[in-house]
Structure 1
Amino acid sequence: MPLNCFCCATEEDREPAETSRVHKNRDYPWEVYSLKELLHATNSFHHDNKIGEGGFGSVYWGRTSKGVEIAVKRLKTMSPKAEMEFAVEVEILGRVRHRNLLGLRGFYAGGDERLIVYDFMPNHSLITHLHGQLAADCLLDWSTRLSIAIGSAEGLSYLHHEANPHIIHRDIKASNVLLDSEFEAKVADFGFAKLIPDGVTHLTTRVKGTLGYLAPEYAMWGKVSESCDVYSFGILLLEIISGKKPIEKLPGGVKRDIVQWVTPYVQKGAFNQIADPRLKGKFDKVQVKSTVLIAMKCTDNSPDNRPTMIEVVDWLKGGIGRRKKEITKVEDTEDDEGSEVYDESQPEGVQQVPPHRTPDSR
């Protein structure tokens, strides 16, 4: 889609051209909103309507004249960087259709305003439940967490293996996983995404993303590939299981990442101690163990040793017979609950995890 056609247009000729182009192209069933409508929907971007904020700008809740609840991302300032992120996100969202990816409802581009309109997600973001204002309520029981993990993995698998060209997200994190009314996961925010042409295994680029989630080869050398998203997903999976942040500050100002924290428990076989204390022991011990092991495979320091997202989905859903790589058993040690310790030396199957619910469906 030639996005520069509206990014470079004059304010006077922009809106008619947008409307004509979008409504004639049936492959992109977007709505081109007027600024007036979005101002009315969000009460002129009133502070009380703000539901999120980041480096890109702010997100506001709104209700259209038709009564539809929407979320509107408003870029902070009009700069070449902001223009590029706007163009990339609209371009990417126009290419993808999957129940676990947040869908584009429409946009507005005029003057110094760049606005992107999405479906409103009533259960907010995953980070709100893990570390934010809803964390104390512990609305995410174990089965819901597992469902969110599988949904997020399926969205990523679609980007890596089904979208054409393939897409690397580059900013997988808890705040970019939104939750609909059924707590179905919707991977969001494609402003840093990269399109990968056929036959290309990796790109070298400026590092974008969030500390704590970045793969080592990407953080150090800017080498980005699908396996960078796999690493980020592994961090996210540990975060979902444990309720811990990717990086925590220890006394004395020392920082420890979540992989460093979890590794001793894995080595001792104390998998149950990794689970979020807010679950109060109400979780499937076999599933906790298997999901921790999957996360450890995803966060291997070597990108060549990480699984694909197809394999991750397969493991999470219990597709033992179809996977290509094994999570393996190293010794017959017992953990504190009498479970075997697993590692990567001899072939052994991952314990089966039941499929998540798939209610009809950003």
Structure 2
Amino acid sequence: MGSASSCCGSDKVDEGVSHVVTPGNTTWRIFTYKELHTATNGFSDDNKLGEGGFGSVYWGKTTDGLQIAVKKLKAMTSKAEMEFAVEVEVLGRVRHKNLLGLRGYCVGTDQRLIVYDYMPNLSLLSHLHGQYAGEVQLDWKRRMKIAIGSAEGILTITEWAEPLIAKARFRDLVDPRLRGNFDENQLKQAINVAALCVQNEPEKRPNMKEVVGMLKGYESRGKVMTVQTRMDSVKYKEELLALDQQTSDDEEDGGPEESYGVFGAMEVQKMQDPYRRYGERKIAKHV
């Protein structure tokens, strides 16, 4: 994503020079802090477009006339750092008419900024529920167009992941900045759970309590926990409740005495394939 030397740290306005990098099939511009400071009039409140948990977003205009939106990280925490890395990594790869384009970023010792294309009409949220909600009347036809466009945007992201899953290239789904520092079994379990959540038949998908139970069960047991497709079965409900109780007991006792999964490997073979949407190659055998 670029080294810290590509942008100044702190609020000091540096004299660095921006440049363009092309990771893979994408093109990102690495801005200097001075460029963004100048473009946003010193991150003036008059330029502020909005504020959220991540930080504030400012309108700006570069010296070459490009209108941009600059998201400035509010505070340097490990969680915010990870969110920043993931957002740059994912949005940098995706190009779609319904998704906001990523122009580049700025990285410094204690500064993280993301630069997007500016939306002159602001966001959909502002028109549906924000400052323009009372001014814009959306008829049914326009609402359906928005819904379809949003779904197409989400589909673009999922289509990026599907070929990797079909080829069992699970590691390619992980943020490269982790440098391989993750539990591969846990990664496979997360993919397993995700696949269960997108089965064609809604009644076969786990609810959020069950998703938490599956992921929490892996965390406390240390082994991949496979799950039968019929989430409404009495056996599954009973074992899920037992898992919740055992996990609570483990936390009180300082950890489990042994590691084991809720379902054995043989039960995977009994599953109705939740991965058929990814092609003929089955993920379950890799998980």
TM-score range, shorter chain: 0.5 to 0.7
1:126 matches 2:117:
no
Report the Cα offset of residue 25 of structure 1: 4.2
Report the Cα offset of residue 29 of structure 1: 0.8
The amino acid across from 1:109 in the alignment is V
For 1:198 and 1:223, the matched residues in 2 are separated by: 9
Asked whether the 8 Å contact 1:7–1:83 carries over to 2, the reply is no
For 1:83 and 1:119, the matched residues in 2 are separated by: 22
Query: Which of 3, 9, 17 in structure 2 is aligned with 1:6?
Result: 3
**What are the equivalent positions in structure 2 for 1:180-259 lying under 5 Å apart?**
200-202=191-193, 216-217=207-208, 221=212
Count residues in correspondence.
183
For 1:39 and 1:10, the matched residues in 2 are separated by: 12
Asked whether the 8 Å contact 1:56–1:76 carries over to 2, the reply is yes
Asked whether the 8 Å contact 1:165–1:198 carries over to 2, the reply is no
Asked whether the 8 Å contact 2:76–2:111 carries over to 1, the reply is yes
Q: Identify the residue that residue 35 of structure 1 maps to in structure 2.
A: 33
Structure 2: runs of 5+ lacking an equivalent: 166-186, 195-205, 216-271, 278-287
Report the Cα offset of residue 107 of structure 1: 0.5
For 2:157 and 2:25, the matched residues in 1 are separated by: 18
Q: Say if 1:218 and 1:128 are closer, same or farther in 2 by CA, change over 3 A.
A: farther
Poorly superposed stretches of 4+, deviation over 3 Å: 7-12, 17-20, 162-166, 196-199
Please report the TM-score for the alignment, with normalisation by the length of structure 2.
0.54
For 1:106 and 1:159, the matched residues in 2 are separated by: 19
**Over aligned residue pairs, what C-alpha RMSD do you find?**
3.9
Q: Identify the residue that residue 108 of structure 2 maps to in structure 1.
A: 110
Please report the TM-score for the alignment, with normalisation by the length of structure 1.
0.43
1:147 matches 2:138:
no
Asked whether the 8 Å contact 1:74–1:115 carries over to 2, the reply is yes
The amino acid across from 1:119 in the alignment is D
1:62 matches 2:60:
yes
Report the Cα offset of residue 58 of structure 1: 0.7
Q: Say if 1:58 and 1:165 are closer, same or farther in 2 by CA, change over 3 A.
A: farther
Q: Say if 1:18 and 1:139 are closer, same or farther in 2 by CA, change over 3 A.
A: farther
Higher Rg? 2
**What are the equivalent positions in structure 2 for 1:345-356 lying under 5 Å apart?**
none
For 2:136 and 2:59, the matched residues in 1 are separated by: 23
Asked whether the 8 Å contact 1:217–1:223 carries over to 2, the reply is no
Deviation string 1:100-158 (CA, Å, 9 cap, x unpaired) is: 22221000001211000000111112221122111111243332221111110001112
Structure 1: runs of 5+ lacking an equivalent: 167-195, 204-214, 225-303, 310-362
% identity of equivalent residues: 50
For 2:53 and 2:212, the matched residues in 1 are separated by: 23
For 2:130 and 2:95, the matched residues in 1 are separated by: 29
